[in-house]
Amino acid sequence: MTTKIQSALISVYYKDGLETIVKQLHTLGVKLYSTGGTQKFIEQLHIPVTPVETLTTYPSILGGRVKTLHPAVFGGILGRRDNETDVQEMTQFNIPEIDLVIVDLYPFEETLAGTNEEKTIIEKIDIGGVSLIRAAAKNYNDVVIVASTKQYMAIENVITEKAGATSLEDRKQFAAWAFEVCAYYDIAISNYFNRDQPIQILNQSPKQSLRYGENPHQNATFYGDLHKTFTQLHGKEISYNNLVDIDAAIQLIREFDEISFAIIKHTNVCGASSRPALHQAWKDALSGDPESAFGGVLVCNGVIDKATAESISQIFFEVLIAQGFSADALHLLKGKKNRILLQCHADLMAPASMIKTVLNGVLVQDTDTVNYADWKEVGAKETSDSEKSDLNFANILCKHLKSNAIALVKNKQLIGKGCGQTSRIDSLRHAIEKAKQFDFSLQGAVMASDAFFPFNDCVKMGHAEGITAFIQPGGSVRDNDSIEYCKENNLAMVLTGVRHFRH
C-alpha cells in the first residue's frame, strides 16, 4: 500500500542535514509541525511551520521535559487510517494525521563521555523522542519514521524520487531502523545504571564491513569503533585475522610495565622480551623464534625510533603496534605500502567481558585479568630474585597462549613455548624443541604452565633440560607428586591458585 506524505512532525537535537529535507517537504506542500529549536530553525528558512503547542494547547513545561507527550500528538501518529473507530475519534477530538516523524535522541553517550556529573547525564535521557519513535514505528502501516541522521539520505530519496509517496516495504524498513536506534539507546542507558553487569550487544554502531572473514569464502563485519583503540597511520585495510591478532597483541602488551616487545602469530605469542631499551627488546623478542615471526603482528609499549625501525624492516610483518613512532622511523616504515602501522591509545582499558558464540546462543565471561591469587613457594628452595622476575614474565606469557600451554623463559625472554596441544607433556616437548632449534640453553631457565601438572612428568622433563623453577596454578589431586620431585631435586616451585585456560 502506497501513501503520500502530507504532514510531518520534525523535532531533532542535531540540525545537520535537515535543511535539504525541510525544503523538499515544503516544495511538496507538506504541512510541518515542530517544537523549540527545530521550529526556530525551520522559521529561519522562511518556511511555514506550526508549533506543536497549537495541538496540545500546552507550552513546553518542566524545563523542556514535557513537550510532545500529548494525545493530540500521539493520536495523530498512532491513529490507524483504515480503522473506522480511530478515524472517528481523531475527527471528534480534532487530531490531525501525522504521516512522517523525524526525531533524533538526546546525545546520552556523548554526554557520558564528556562528563561525570550525574545531573547533566540524567537530563540527556530522552523520553519524548523515544516515545515518538516507537509510536511512529509501531504504526508503520501508515507512518514513516526517521530516527537518525543515518536515514536522511534514504528519506531524501523517497521525497525526490517518489514525490513523497512511500510503500509499505519502505515504511517497514524505516521502522526496523528506528527500533534498532531505540534498542541501542536504551542499552546504553541501562549500562550506565548497571555498570557491574552491562548488557553486551553485537549490533553496535558504527559497523565496518571487512574484506572477508577468517577465510576468503566467509563474509565478515566488525561492530565497534576502532578509533577508540588505535589510530592507523599507514597500510592496507585491516582484515578479520589482523583484528583477531591485534586484539591478542594489545591484551598481552598491556600486562607489562617494563619496556617490552612481543610477536603474535595466530593469537599466540611466539616471541617476547622485556629490556631497558626498546631496540634490544625487539631483537631479543625476534631471536626467540625468528621463523614464526614471519608475517606476524608486532607490538610494543614504547615509541619506535629509527634504529628499531631499521631492524624491524628487515623482516616481513603484517602489523606493527606501538605507543608512538618518531618521524624518521615512521617515514622508514612507510616504505612498504601494505604494512599496517597502528598507534595504540595509552589509556586503553581491557574489556570487562568476553563473548563467544556457541550452538544457538552466546557465552559471556569476565575477562581474565587476574594473574595470581597467591604466590606460594612449595619447592625445595625459595625462588631467587631473578627467578621471581622470570616466573612472573613466564606466567603472563602462558596466560596468552592457547591451552595446553607451556612457556620457557630465561632473563625475561621467551625462549621456548608449546601451545594448543592435547596433552601438557606434548606442549613441553614442543617448547623444548623450539628452544633447542634456536640454540638456547635451558640451564637456569624457568617454566610456566597455564594449568596444573596432572603428573610429575613435566617437572622431570624440564629438570632434565636444566630448568630450575616452575610456576603453575596447582589444584591437581596429584599436586604432591610434582612438589615432592622439586623438593627431592632442589628445585623451586610456585603455586598461584589461578588457572589460565585459553580455548
Q: Are 415 and 441 in contact, with CB atoms under 8 Å apart?
A: no
CA 48/CA 29 separation, integer angstroms: 10
Exposed / middle / buried, residue 145 (Cβ in 10 Å: 0-12, 13-18, 19+) = buried
The reported pTM is: 0.75
Across 191-200, 204-213, 378-387, the highest mean pLDDT is recorded for: 378-387
Which has more pLDDT, 99 or 60? 99
Kindly tell me if the per-residue pLDDT of 205 is higher than 70. Answer: no
Q: What is the pLDDT at residue 202?
A: 60
The mean pLDDT value for 354-369 works out to: 87
The mean pLDDT value for 369-395 works out to: 95
Q: Are 347 and 274 in contact, with CB atoms under 8 Å apart?
A: no
Q: What is the pLDDT at residue 345?
A: 86
* Longest CA span, the chain: 96
Least confident of 179-183, 223-227, 275-279, 284-288: 223-227
CA 249/CA 344 separation, integer angstroms: 11
> Percent of the chain, pLDDT > 70?
98
Q: What is the pLDDT at residue 203?
A: 58
CB count within 10 Å of CB 203 equals: 10
The mean pLDDT value for 354-373 works out to: 88
- Confidence band of 312 (pLDDT split at 50, 70, 90): very high
The mean pLDDT value for 75-91 works out to: 91
Kindly tell me if the per-residue pLDDT of 160 is higher than 70. Answer: yes
- Which cell is 88 given? 472517528
Pick from 422, 421, 367, 375: nearest CA to 395: 375
- Confidence band of 350 (pLDDT split at 50, 70, 90): confident
- Which cell is 451 given? 594449568
CB count within 10 Å of CB 453 equals: 27
DSSP annotation string for 80-149: -TT-HHHHHHHHHTTPPP--EEEE----HHHHHHH---HHHHHHTS-SHHHHHHHHHHHTTTT-EEE-SG
- Which cell is 321 given? 603496534
Q: Could you give phi then psi for residue 358, rounded to 5 degrees? A: -140, 135
Which has more pLDDT, 117 or 203? 117
Q: What is the pLDDT at residue 353?
A: 80
CA 84/CA 86 separation, integer angstroms: 6
Run of H or E including 166: strand 165-166
Strands in 31-34's sheet, in edge-to-edge order, are 50-51, 31-34, 7-11, 100-103, 144-146
Pick from 266, 263, 289: nearest CA to 408: 289
Q: How do 324-325 and 303-304 pair as beta strands?
A: parallel
pLDDT (tens digit, 9 = 90+) per residue, 422-469?
999 999 999 999 999 999 999 999 999 999 999 999 999 999 999 999
Residues 6+ apart with CB under 8 A from 221: 207, 208, 209, 210
Kindly tell me if the per-residue pLDDT of 233 is higher than 70. Answer: yes
Which has more pLDDT, 213 or 53? 213
- Confidence band of 351 (pLDDT split at 50, 70, 90): confident
Exposed / middle / buried, residue 247 (Cβ in 10 Å: 0-12, 13-18, 19+) = middle
Run of H or E including 38: helix 36-44
- Confidence band of 1 (pLDDT split at 50, 70, 90): confident
Kindly tell me if the per-residue pLDDT of 480 is higher than 70. Answer: yes
Pick from 173, 188, 108, 107: nearest CA to 137: 173
Q: What is the pLDDT at residue 200?
A: 64
Average pLDDT, the chain: 92
CA 124/CA 14 separation, integer angstroms: 14
- Confidence band of 206 (pLDDT split at 50, 70, 90): low
Q: What is the pLDDT at residue 456?
A: 94
Q: What is the pLDDT at residue 55?
A: 83
CA 36/CA 51 separation, integer angstroms: 8
CA 474/CA 383 separation, integer angstroms: 17
pLDDT (tens digit, 9 = 90+) per residue, 46-63?
999 999 888 877 777 777
Q: How do 165-166 and 3-4 pair as beta strands?
A: antiparallel
Kindly tell me if the per-residue pLDDT of 287 is higher than 60. Answer: yes
Kindly tell me if the per-residue pLDDT of 343 is higher than 80. Answer: yes
Phi/psi region, residue 498 (left: phi>0; alpha: psi -120 to 50; beta: rest), is beta
Instruction: Report, as residue numbers or ranges, the catalytic residues.
Output: 138, 266
